[in-house]
Amino acid sequence: MEKVYFVVSSVTYAMKGRRILASGGIKSEIGKRGRRADDKSCRYTIAVSSGNAEAAERMLRANSVRILERKDGGTT
């Protein structure tokens, strides 16, 4: 399944994001995987299926979870 990764600044926002998405019925996974060689800055990702990405992004932004970057692509 193709995934979309939302990069957030810390584990706190990753957890907050996951709870917000769960409350809206969107399953997500927390990880910490930089997808570029220069991505070494201790950031966490919230991964959702690509089909839920738009709704997830809206929910995160509406609940003050700052998305530092959105990375489309990648499969599990």
Contacting residues toward other proteins, per CB under 8 A: 9-16, 19, 30-33, 40-44, 64, 66
Least Å distance, CB 7 to other proteins, is 11
Nearest CA to 35 out of 9, 61, 72 is that of 72
| Residue whose CB is less far from other proteins, 19 or 54 | 19
Angle between helices 11-23 and 53-62 (to 10 degrees): 110
Question: Nearest Cα to 62, choosing from 7, 16, 9?
Answer: 16
> Minimum Å distance from CB 54 to other proteins?
25
Between 9 and 50, name the residue whose CB sits nearer to other proteins. Answer: 9
